[in-house]
Homo-oligomer: A and B are copies of this chain.
């Protein structure tokens, strides 16, 4: 159980909301901030303080957690005019749990350090359900003693909390995780479409695949979504497209090839261009069916 801390939380999206609920359940003194203030109301009703700006949030907190959608949003709320650094006392710890680009994360951490603020990058893997249950996977980069001081707080969110190394290491690990996730989904879609084009039954194929050593939670759940053509978003395709793009941009700087990632990225881009951005990323199956003409010609 973590000590009672004054915890600020920015970013009340679909992941942020259950995370704040867990903080309140754990008895922390929580202050929240969100661009759209309406989302703060339910938490205020449970006793959370509402801050008008990141600056104000920081001023009243020992630790600030951010869960924002884009790297640009993180930059603005941390280093902007009315941002966290404008209100932070030396000694504050900032934990960025969104999927921020490693380069941005590292640069911001350096800026924070000049102000006496320790910044950890701590992105997560997992769904809204895992956020609700506190079973996220949390990948942490930054100063190791700053991590050690916050390990208790982080365990509020995740069953598995990993310390990966210096600043940016968590953000880098998140890209590693999402390469595997995106390419596994692409592989699954391509294998199902290949079988269907030969007349094999989609459900029977999935029944076989889940008995093989390649089976995983992704194969089971995304496979069923593909068979059912049910692409109600758990994680929208555009998010994985963004992460694959970030990975390739990091690889550009590293001067290393990622050929399978590049191929998958081009297929996710096809999904973006053909209007599937807001569908679940399992809709990569719809992209493959379209390319194979299975959506327009009679199946053999």
Contacts and interface: CB of A to CB of B under 8 A. Distances in A.
A252 to B, nearest CB: 4
Interface stretch (A17-25, A44-52, A113-121, A189-197): A189-197
A90 to B, nearest CB: 29
A213 B209 contact: no
A179 B191 contact: yes
A225 interface: no
A131 interface: no
A88 interface: no
Q: Which of A183, A195, A198, A293 has the most chain B CB within a 10 Å cutoff?
A: A198
A267 B255 CA distance: 11
Contact of A257 (B126, B269, B275): B269
Chain A's interface size range is 35 or more
A1 interface: no
Interface in A239-283: 241, 245, 247-252, 254-267, 269-270, 272-275, 277
A176 interface: yes
Given A180-B188, A200-B169, A212-B180, A251 B291 contact: no
A73 interface: no
Q: Which of A137, A274, A275 has the most chain B CB within a 10 Å cutoff?
A: A274
Contacts of A251: 194, 197, 269
Interface string A163-205: 0110001001101110111011011101111110111110011
12 contacts: A137-B211, A169-B199, A172-B195, A179-B194, A183-B260, A194-B258, A213-B221, A254-B292, A256-B272, A257-B270, A259-B259, A259-B266
Given A125-B212, A169-B199, A214-B218, 10 more contacts: A165-B201, A172-B200, A215-B217, A257-B265, A257-B267, A257-B273, A259-B259, A260-B264, A262-B263, A274-B291
